[in-house]
Copies of this chain bind each other. A is one copy, B any other.
């Protein structure tokens, strides 16, 4: 039986395995450092007549692609767990309509990938279900026009900005696989340090990552070096610096093994992405294309994935609210230690 330890961490008794993963990305992502690992790259419309429809298609097709690899059908899934950044998470819901899988919609902004893995692995460990499709995605152009300004304005971005990843990533997790396994997780609280600059998400989300990583290590009695990598979702360059520094003040040193999906998915020196990648798709494509593959190849044995979400809306910002963040951590291990 699963066991709660400490404040808000949980150790799984029957750790679910990643049975298959897939990631579909846009053109800029395919030109980045992880380009070779993605299953497919498409242009921003992907033969649809709107960016939102292209985003929905990527969402749906990432699941279909992951299922194809293990010769399963959508109807072999017990539940689909996912969400995205669009108002009313329409990418997830319209993809669920096409797939006809029982569906629980989630919203944790860019933390949704780990949120879906937490709920999915709980349902599997609790023996409710055998298999879940956990999926998130985002799209640069739909996020820009929904959260910021009409894309046609061609606004310059401030240097603290991050580029929303165009892409969707799906994890098919289930009982009875051969790994990598989800062995523990920590559910985060909403943390707000009062940042109001919607062009500086890294700084807004870093405090929640600090909080969740500290709680995770305290709850589990682990030290940072327990992990080959501690990987945040999309703090980008500035947010990552804040995270490492703030944890150092708490005598937690992750400077040697921290990385951030937003810094892995783009080459921030040579691609015009300011502080790096962001969006639900950022952690989703990095996990499902790159990290799981490297674990399967034996290059990485144990990671803590800490996807981070900024819980703002245009309305909350217009009404003067600051930007709270949330981060959920999932421990993924290549094999089950005794």
The residues of A with any CB-CB pair to B shorter than 8 Å are: 1-4, 7-8, 10, 49-50, 52-53, 78-79, 83, 85-90, 93-94, 96-97, 100-109, 115, 118-119, 122-123, 125-129, 146, 187-192, 311-316, 319, 321, 324, 326, 328
Contacts and interface: CB of A to CB of B under 8 A. Distances in A.
A121 B79 CA distance: 16
A146 to B, nearest CB: 8
A146 B106 CA distance: 20
Contact of A52 (B10, B319, B324): B319
B314 A101 contact: no
Given A93-B324, A103-B189, A2 B313 contact: no
Contacts of A313: 86-88, 90
B129 A4 contact: yes
B88 A312 contact: yes
A188 B90 contact: no
Given A122-B128, A316-B90, A107 B109 contact: no
A3 B315 CA distance: 42
A96 B190 contact: yes
A88 B109 contact: yes
B104 A89 contact: no
Contacts of A104: 106, 108, 115, 118-119, 187, 328
Nearest to A326: B103
Contacts of A122: 122-123, 126, 128
Given A88-B87, A104-B119, A78 B190 contact: no
